[in-house]
Amino acid sequence: MNRTADLRRDTQETKIRVALDLDGSGRAQLSTGIGFLDHMLDQIARHGLIDLTIEAQGDLHIDGHHTVEDVGITLGQAFAKALGDKRGITRYGYAYVPLDEALSRVVLDCSGRPGLHMDVRFSAASIGQLDTQLVFEFFQGFVNHAGVTLHIDNLKGVNAHHQCETIFKAFARALRMAITPDARAAGTIPSTKGSL
């Protein structure tokens, strides 16, 4: 099964292209204009084993909001397209990831129902050029368009860089678990409803 997508989203605020292969090896080509966002997207590719290309041009002269949110939206759209009807996937995924003093837990369900529950108190207002408030906006854009229920909890952390990196790594590992084919349920929709 070919689980790939290549999408563009152009607005008056941003121009975004996302190409991905859910069965990749973790290769990434990233250019959003926000260095720390590129670093976090690289975590999704590397730890999710997703080949990921993201090219973004946004109104960064205003701030990073539109760019970060629209990257999340377009990534969610591409994810939904690549995943298809979800036949044969594990569906649920979770991960705990530490980085020094920081620890985060991410649990997700490829349910078809968007929902974000995020409990993170960043220790700083920004990391490099990334406003930490925009981490929520990124994941909100993703879940709304991917049809994923996502719970993110930063359980410990003093350094904002470490907090954020554990979140994105845990998200990648949970996503990888959820989209992995379930050998015992090959060809079936993982729901009693018969659709997701």
Q: What is the pLDDT of residues 144-194, one digit of tens each?
A: 999 999 999 999 999 999 999 999 999 999 999 999 999 998 889 999 888
Assess contact for 150 and 137: CB atoms under 8 A.
Answer: no
The answer to whether residue 105 is domain-embedded is: yes
pLDDT tens digits, 91-102: 999 999 999 999
The answer to whether residue 52 is domain-embedded is: yes
The answer to whether residue 193 is domain-embedded is: no
Indicate if the pLDDT at residue 195 is higher than 90.
Answer: no
pLDDT value at residue 144: 98
Q: Give the domain range for residue 87.
A: 4-185
Indicate if the pLDDT at residue 122 is higher than 80.
Answer: yes
The answer to whether residue 158 is domain-embedded is: yes
The answer to whether residue 190 is domain-embedded is: no
Indicate if the pLDDT at residue 136 is higher than 90.
Answer: yes
pLDDT tens digits, 33-64: 999 999 999 999 999 999 999 999 999 999 99
For residues 137-145, average pLDDT: 98
Question: Token pair 């909001």 is at which residue?
Answer: 65
pLDDT value at residue 1: 75
The answer to whether residue 94 is domain-embedded is: yes
The answer to whether residue 192 is domain-embedded is: no
Indicate if the pLDDT at residue 3 is higher than 80.
Answer: yes
Question: Token pair 């999340």 is at which residue?
Answer: 72
What distance lies between CA 86 and its chain's CA centroid?
17
CATH of the domain at 10: 3.30.230.40
Q: What is the pTM of this model?
A: 0.97
Average pLDDT of the chain is 97
Number of domains in the chain: 1
pLDDT value at residue 95: 99
Assess contact for 26 and 47: CB atoms under 8 A.
Answer: yes
pLDDT value at residue 97: 98
The answer to whether residue 39 is domain-embedded is: yes
